[in-house]
Amino acid sequence: MQPTGGIRPDLQAFFWLRVFPTSQTLSTPAHPRVTQTVSWQNVIMSETGKASSRSIFLWFPIVSISTYIGVLLSSSLGTILFRLRRNSYTASDDGDLELILSFIFLVSLFMGFGQWFVINTRIKRVHYWIPATIIGFLLGSIVYFFIFANMLLFLDVYYHRVISFMLVGMFAGICQCVSMKKKPSILIKWSLITGVGLAFGHWLALLVSNYTSNLFISWMFFSTAIGLITGIFAEPMIIRPKTENINQ
């Protein structure tokens, strides 16, 4: 969808919309834990061992690819929904609403599916993970639009973009942990990790877009960052946390 400038600035900031051309075994820690620590590195090393490496090698490619597919399909779905309204692109209506809704639904659906697929190889009863991801994306979007977008008008649109993705990721992480009845400590950590994953991925995509006109490559970096960052912590926090007993 080509930019025409007819949409509110905060709506433009929410998602990086102007990106598509019109055409187209159980883990045991290596060393016993002696004291609690807030170090992310110690969490990984003490609680996962070799199993963490195995999980990330599965999580990283699957989640990255599935998220990327969701991003690509959101462009086509957004265009289809816009044309169903039998409108042509104008300064006041350039199809961004349809693209936002498509992005929220398809990216959350495919990212959630990729994560669920990996988790399901170790934990069989995770029926609500995918709908929880979709709900989290939706809640994060609503909170940004109706609260933070107006509160942060003094910030540059660039920061709005990063903040919007951070909020969406955090709400998605919260809903995912609630769906698996995780402890509050895990919920807080996982929500922050998911938020950072989406925000950093979006920032990286913006950075890459400055050096290439192929914005599909930029979104590839976005998806890769999400898969890598969430994959590093998926084993100790979601798939096999040491301090939780999960019914399989």
* pLDDT tens-place string over residues 44-64: 344 444 455 567 888 999 999
Is 21 a domain residue?
no
Structure token digits, residue 124: 């069989």
> Which parts of the chain fold into alpha helices (H)?
9-14, 40-47, 50-84, 96-119, 129-143, 149-151, 157-179, 184-209, 215-234
Which residues form the domain of 200? 47-239
How far is Cα 226 from Cα 56, in angstroms, rounded to an integer? Answer: 12
- Which residue from 61, 66, 73 is spatially nearest to 130, judged by alpha carbons? 66
Residue-level pLDDT at 178: 95
Is 72 a domain residue?
yes
Count of the separate structural domains present in the chain: 1
Does residue 165 surpass a pLDDT of 80? Answer: yes
Is 24 a domain residue?
no
Is 151 a domain residue?
yes
- Which residue from 227, 229, 139 is spatially nearest to 176, judged by alpha carbons? 139
> What phi, psi does 213 have (nearest 5°)?
-85, -10
Give mean pLDDT, residues 133-142. Answer: 95
Task: State the pLDDT confidence band at 85, using cuts at 50, 70 and 90.
Answer: confident
* pLDDT tens-place string over residues 166-195: 999 999 999 999 999 999 999 999 999 999
Is 78 a domain residue?
yes
Is 65 a domain residue?
yes
Is 6 a domain residue?
no
- Which residue from 113, 198, 161, 137 is spatially nearest to 15, judged by alpha carbons? 161
Is 245 a domain residue?
no
